[in-house]
Amino acid sequence: AHLTKGEFKILQYLIRNRGTICNRHDLCLLFKRNNYVPSIRSIDIKVTRIRAKLLDSGHALIQTTHGVGYFID
């Protein structure tokens, strides 16, 4: 399955920051427009969808630091 633009944006950010925990608030700011910032929960859902798509292709890249954010080793 193909990644959506938003999913790709998150994956690209995590790859660029490989080895660093990216907090969920910073990931929300990737989608900031005017006065709109998405909820942290919407980021969690996007990451869940990315993981499912990557697992379908045999990859399990994204790790979780509970209560903080996500990272790729």
| Residue in 55, 50, 56, 66 with CA at minimum distance from that of residue 14 | 50
Query: Does residue 7 contact residue 49 with C-beta atoms inside 8 Å?
Result: yes
pLDDT score at 47: 96
Q: What is the DSSP letter of 73?
A: -
Sign of CA dihedral 26, 29, 35, 40: negative
pTM over 0.85, yes/no? yes
Summarize pLDDT for 21-70 with one digit per residue, the tens.
999 999 999 999 888 888 999 999 999 999 999 887 777 789 999 999 99
